[in-house]
Amino acid sequence: MSVLSKSNPQVRVNRRRKTEQTILIFSLGFLAFLGLFPYIFMVLTSFKNNQQFVDSYWGLPVPIHFENYAAAWEQTKNYFATTFIVVAATIAATLFLGLLSGFILSRFIFVGRQFLFTCVGLLLMVPWIAALIPLFVLSKDLKMLNTIWVLIVPMIAGNAVLSVILFKNYIDAVPQELFDCAVVFGATGPQIFRYVVVPLSFPVVGTISLLTMINVWNEYFWPLLTVTDDSLRTVSVGITFFQGQNETDYGGLMAGYTLASIPLLLLFTFLSKYFLAGIQGGLSVSDK
């Protein structure tokens, strides 16, 4: 009896922990299902024709219509090319500006440095929609409307703000001894930037690259507002042409959205490790 009485409390604790873990697993699984359900619905609908979509809204696509993807690709392949150009140019410029500005704000002492960084931080508080009209007027005055530059330059300006903040905070956390050692060996500022700062900043590079691509890839209103040339439209705008005035090809529309989501899924799959590390390091508070 004494052995049982001593073991019972531990047994009850173990059972309670198992129950809590089971509830937690089911809760997280339910939340994951809720988050993935729209994507699953989109993929299933992409294999249906309009008649199947009406007759079996929640049902499985039987028979499967693979031709929806062929039609979607034929409709959007030129938009994909334009979007990749815009994304590549925006990511390259955002990384360069953010990394260089973060390095200067972190390791160089000059008058107004803290004030300048505060102004950069305040830009995060300005909503994108508030700058839309002034940005459109400025683009019109600079004769950038209906050109590739109107898709690239505003995206660089919008994404460079967070890039500067993340890079600056990340470089702040790098031990000063590394920079002192580089100076002792005769390294100049550009050499320190190239051989010390850039290799150490790869986690934030992955984070900024992923966030920038998501922002540019999903941007819809700005390309729709500033571009009328069909060859310059991005994929987010081009997909909407499956929606006509009289009829919408739901299968082709969902197939287009599925194709458009594949690059983001692949990028996050390969950069997720750097994304999480960069968020943790870039948002950390410096010990200096």
CA angle 114, 120, 126 (to 5 degrees): 140
* 250 and 48 Cβ atoms separated by less than 8 Å: yes
Q: Which of 138, 128, 94, 156 is nearest to 226 (CA)?
A: 138
pLDDT of 51 reads 87
pLDDT of 288 reads 40
pLDDT of 287 reads 40
The pLDDT averaged over each successive group of 10 residues in the chain (288 residues) is 55 81 90 89 90 85 88 87 93 94 89 88 84 90 92 92 90 86 86 88 85 89 89 86 68 88 83 63 43
d(CA 216, CA 155): 7
CATH number of 76-282: 1.10.3720.10
**8: number of Cβ within 10 Å:** 10
Beta bridge partners of 243: 248
Specify the residue for token string 């459109």: 136
- For residue 134, give the amino acid letter: P
**φ and ψ at residue 107, rounded to 5 degrees:** -115, -5
d(CA 219, CA 14): 50
Query: In the structure encoding, which two tokens stand for residue 207, read together?
Result: 């984070």
Query: In the structure encoding, which two tokens stand for residue 131, read together?
Result: 């700058």
> Helix crossing, 202-218 with 250-282: angle to 10°?
150
* 173 and 283 Cβ atoms separated by less than 8 Å: no
pLDDT of 246 reads 57
Q: Which of 217, 206, 213, 216 is nearest to 279 (CA)?
A: 206
pLDDT in tens, 189-213: 888 888 888 888 888 888 888 889 9
